[in-house]
Structure 1
């Protein structure tokens, strides 16, 4: 049982990654410098650190973004391009548990895409929890799935706390 969680939303450019985070938080959110509180269930919250714009799109290394970040739950957009391997290898190397939600098809994709990068076997070999969701439909159910996964993971590790209004 790992003690850090890397929650990634994977997709092509404009697939709905940022929409997923905005829906999860109930408003527009961007990458910050500090953790933020994420409401979960039953009046409980958890601290998370968000990387909204994918490191791959911004030509950044996830390790540089996270080097001084000690938050145990990281939410990260990742773009479906070859460079995504560096981000995923960083997360595995830092011993994060992985939860990856692949938006396939993404909001602007013509249809479902074949895994031409061969990420699925790599993710499964690295014990990732993986889901494929349709980025063309409203984001409510997929964000609910993320919220429930984080809640269960955080609760089991004593990382949840009462939300304050």
Structure 2
């Protein structure tokens, strides 16, 4: 079965956790089981959430994912050179990857995107996945809705949508 990773990459306090909280409509944390992610009032998909990046935790992402082979994973990633280890985990597990890089992040001092001094954006583009830069300083509703719509379309095509 195909699998999907939705990731948000950014520096500390860039808005990664705020993205997930807004997507779920409540404060959410990494858990040990799948969570229902409502895509509208009655339809949802089951997802595994890694909020609080593996890089910040200094923990291998494979140790944080406690569900065997989840179909959809939402994962925060820290903009650091070692983020490539987390990305490679999902590549090795055959996940399709859809990524937002929060640049600038919500708490960054700069108002415009910074250069990718670590080469992570080029690394991602070279993997032929879906990646885009999103401004973490602007209202997050548009980018959260973009993520919701992407998950909905991907899941609908694969008959993964569940109903209450």
Query: Which TM-score band applies after superposition, normalised by the shorter structure?
Result: over 0.9
Question: How much has 1:67 moved relative to structure 2?
Answer: 5.8
Matches within 5 A, 1:52-71: 52-66=51-65, 68-71=67-70
1:98 and 1:127 in contact (8 A); partners too: no
8 Å CA contact 1:55, 1:61 repeated in 2: yes
Cα offsets for 1:30-67 (capped at 9, x unmatched): 00000011111473210000001100000010112226
Matched residues in 2 for 1:136 and 1:148: separation? 21
2:147 corresponding residue in structure 1: 146
Matches within 5 A, 1:18-37: 18-37=17-36
Q: Write out aligned runs for 1:1-165 (5 A).
A: 3-41=2-40, 43-66=42-65, 68-111=67-110, 112-162=113-163, 164=164
SS in 2 for 1:27: coil
Give TM-score scaled by structure 1 length. Answer: 0.93
CA contact under 8 A between 2:8 and 2:100: conserved in structure 1?
A: yes
In the alignment of these two chains, the number of paired residues is: 162
Deviates more, 1:23-32 or 1:65-74: 65-74
Counterpart-to-counterpart distance in 2, 1:16 and 1:62 = 20
- The whole-number CA distance in structure 2 between the counterparts of 1:156 and 1:61 is 31
Q: CA deviation at 1:156?
A: 1.1
Moved more, 40-49 or 85-94: 40-49
Q: Structure 2: where are the runs of 5+ without partners?
A: none
Deviation of 1:85 after TM superposition, in Å, equals 0.7
Aligned residue for 1:87, secondary structure, equals helix
Do the aligned partners of 2:48 and 2:67 also contact (CA within 8 Å) in 1? no
